[in-house]
Structure 1
């Protein structure tokens, strides 16, 4: 059994994913998600964190890893024995520097739209499943704040929703939706200068609750 890890961040307004270039067969030279075999007696979550740090240098202790799905199609792996993989999902507010290791030649952050359709094994399916899971969780939970620092503006949060959903969201509509979701954010009382230094200062917010807590009032993509 193996584990694979999908780690998302928002970079330059686009949804990005952490990928590694495989240094060994099968699929040597191809991009893939970080992951590898589970050790004897090793917990799945521990294996996911270990593979993440071994192949990318990123310590996963600070990431909220959530089990995504088990992938077990008979032809998902070219090796002679059947390999079932348990995929994990995480998001991070910043793309940490990477250091490739073990059987990974390179570890980088890439826009999801750039690598989709090019990954080894069945990792394109895993990536698509993870992207839809995150997009759905933005509708029903507080997960969007996990892409941002502890304090942020509504414009920054809107940028996360736009990147994940692939939509251009009307700022006024988004602000009304967020302000009606009273269990999501609270004002810090501070303000931030707008990007470029022009315009009115923007109100700064902090999140309420935990990332995977459900919202009392969902924020639907279809309403944007």
Structure 2
């Protein structure tokens, strides 16, 4: 039997913060809005949740529709519900965030997005709605996450140097780390496997390449730890 409600209800949306890493540092996926409000402005991928649609499914659908990105593992971040955050009406947004390897995800704008691309966190355009606030919350969550869970499996290629892993942590923490101390602590975790391969096509001395021990990595993600950097 249909149910009627005495009070009006706010609309519901999802917004997605996707972090990626390349040689230049940590980046975030943005789309350029192709319609009002904020037509032409850059924003996080997202949109309205359909009736009967699960939140995670809505987030996955919007990522694929707006940026051509699919098959990413999303974690729920926070709920943003300021009544004035959307000029159209009272809209509550459930934000998600994810870590992805840029090499695995080519972005292509679609539906109500006129463009899409990866932007360096230190060189962002002005964002629509309250998406700058959402991004800041996601950055702080990521900073906290690396202190109790290992990160990198989702962001790095299969084989990587310890220097690249350190650059990842420095990008997230937004500060330099002592090379010797960082390597000592990460190797002690037992989640890295040294390989016989080295970097190729580099001007400097080629560094040894490592890979994550997936079983040990997944176990540590589940159990957690405390990493002081």
Counterpart of 1:37 in structure 2 is 48
Give the superposed CA RMSD.
1.9
SS at structure 2 position matched to 1:146: coil
Rate the CA distance shift 1:214–1:76 in 2: closer, same or farther, 3 A: farther
TM-score scaled by length of structure 2: 0.86
**Segments of 4+ moved more than 6 angstroms:** none
Equivalent residues of 2:21, 2:27 under 8 A apart = yes
Shift in Å, 1:144: 2.7
| Alpha carbons of structure 1 residues 138 and 94: separation in structure 2 relative to 1, 3 Å | same
The structure with more radius of gyration: 2
Q: TM-score, normalised by structure 1?
A: 0.88
Q: Partners of 1:200 and 1:33 in 2: how far apart?
A: 37
Cα distance change on mapping 1:200 and 1:100 into 2, 3 Å: closer
Pair 1:170 & 2:181 matched:
no
- Residue correspondence of structure 1 range 21-170 to structure 2 within 5 A: 21-59=32-70, 61=71, 63-79=72-88, 81-95=89-103, 96-115=105-124, 118-170=126-178
**How many residues are treated as equivalent by the alignment?**
214
> Which secondary structure state, in structure 2, belongs to the residue aligned with residue 209 of structure 1?
helix
Structure 1 position 25, deviation (Å): 0.9
Asked if 2 retains the 8 angstrom alpha-carbon contact of 1:57 and 1:99, the reply is: yes
Structure 2 segments unaligned to the other structure (5+ residues):
1-11
118-127 vs 158-167, which moves further: 158-167
Identify if the C-alpha distance between structure 1 residues 21 and 200 changes in structure 2 by more than 3 Å, giving closer, same or farther: closer
* Runs of at least 5 residues in structure 1 that lack an aligned partner in the other structure: none
Once the two structures are overlaid, the 10-residue window that deviates more, 138-147 or 201-210, is 201-210
C-alpha contact (below 8 Å) 1:142/1:213 kept by paired residues? no
